[in-house]
Amino acid sequence: MNSLVTKIEDKTALVGVAGLGYVGLSLGVEFAKGGYQVLGVDISQERINQLLRGKSYILDVKSKDVSHLVQSGRLKVSCSYDLLRDADTISICVPTPLRKTKDPDTSHIRLAVAEIKRIFHIPLLIILESTTYPGTTRELVINEIETLGYKVGKDFYVAFSPERVDPSNPTFNTKNIPKVIGGATKRCTEISRKLYGKVIEKVVVLNSTEEAEMIKLLENTFRSVNIALVNEMAQMCDRMGINIWNVIEGAKTKPFGFMPFYPGPGIGGHCIPHDPMYLSWKAKTYDFYNRFIELATDINGNMPHFMVKKLSRILNERKKPLNGSKILILGIAYKKDTDDIRESPGLEIYRLLKKEKCSIEYNDPYVRTFKEGGGTIHSKKVSAQMLKKYDCVVVSTGHTHYDYPFIAKHATLIFDTRNAFKGIKSKNIVKL
């Protein structure tokens, strides 16, 4: 341990990162900028090629930083885990999707651990960052490595540190978001704290890997449940003829006991749609059924259907059937000012409207194309003439890039699901 700690302290430790997506690339770049040599591995040859050309495919990571770090040798990347053969630390940042049955798919973690076992050496620090259910670190990392005959906390060190990436957040990033660490042993926790403390402003220590794993699930279950509450309130207010946005604005003037959440066409990204289901799945193995999670998932998952039904009603009031209507979707990403379309409700609305035989196009300044139905769908340019040809413009993502007064002036009808047209008055704007 002492030699590993010394390397971390003097920044001669080789920092490995497995998985160079939103989490891994951001983390690797932060370590490289902090003075460490970083070895990054990703199974996507396309990603590796872009990085070798000095190009970033993550909006929050600047291409100029990637280019400088690659050219200086601070960041080395490859598709092969052989690159990590000499790494002193390895942070696993691979995806953890859900299967269609809503069970966690840990195959990417298993693959990463299998590759690490192949190149394993002591001492080695392994930190799992992939979001998953409590117990994963012990089951899939510690137990697997110990089959080689080594002892955790003595020969190698393992911790869990939940990723907290928030794409396109202008205030909080990898460096200034507090980093939670939970080690398999006290020594594991301490050495992990020393590593992350070198490049991240604040490190928060917990008592176990299970506590650290549960933190991420609690954070996103909290968000999922509260978003579901306000989404259900939005549906109720719609039926009562009450403006939910004005209700929220009024409620949030209370200086205590209330935290504003906002309705929308659904939830997206990797975290909120998936993370609570990891917890729900694991809880069932203890004969515990989390009704809040199941209910929230149902409400949030059905919001795109509610949006399409309301759009049909809006058009019907204007003597226009949904079938055959020309619809423009503004924003296909799951949140504003990002290119992330994972689990995006905008995509679900697109598919639902296609089933209704609508003529659908979209505009998104961050998502130039996306794959759908075996083809490539391209973003359309917004113009005054173009806006007039649509029966309705549906705001799915409220990008700050949009010129809302211009759109309000030229669009025939607008269905605003994000309150993006706040403060703009027009009889042609219908709010969620």
What is the chain's length?
432
Mean pLDDT by 10 residues, the chain (432 residues): 88 98 96 97 97 95 97 97 98 90 89 98 96 94 98 97 89 94 97 97 97 94 96 97 97 96 92 85 91 93 97 96 97 94 95 96 96 94 95 96 96 96 94 94
Q: Helix or strand or coil: residue 274?
A: helix
> For residue 155, what pLDDT is reported?
96
Taking only the tens place, the pLDDT of each residue in 305-352 is: 999 999 999 999 999 999 999 999 999 999 999 999 999 999 999 999
Q: Domain ranges in the chain?
A: 2-207, 229-431
- State which amino acid sits at residue 424: I
Q: Which fold has domain 2-207?
A: Rossmann fold (3.40.50)
Domain at 229-431: CATH code: 3.40.50.720
> For residue 1, what pLDDT is reported?
53
Q: Which helix (H) or strand (E) is 313 found in, with range?
A: helix 303-317
End-to-end CA distance of the chain: 57
Same fold, 2-207 and 229-431: yes
Q: What positions carry a catalytic annotation?
A: 271
Complete edge-to-edge strand list for the sheet that includes strand 429-431: 359-363, 326-330, 392-395, 414-416, 429-431
Q: What value does the CA radius of gyration of the chain take, rounded to a whole number of Å?
A: 24
Q: Is beta strand 375-378 parallel, antiparallel or unpaired with respect to 392-395? A: unpaired
Question: Is it true that the peptide bond before 97 is cis, omega within 30 degrees of 0?
Answer: no
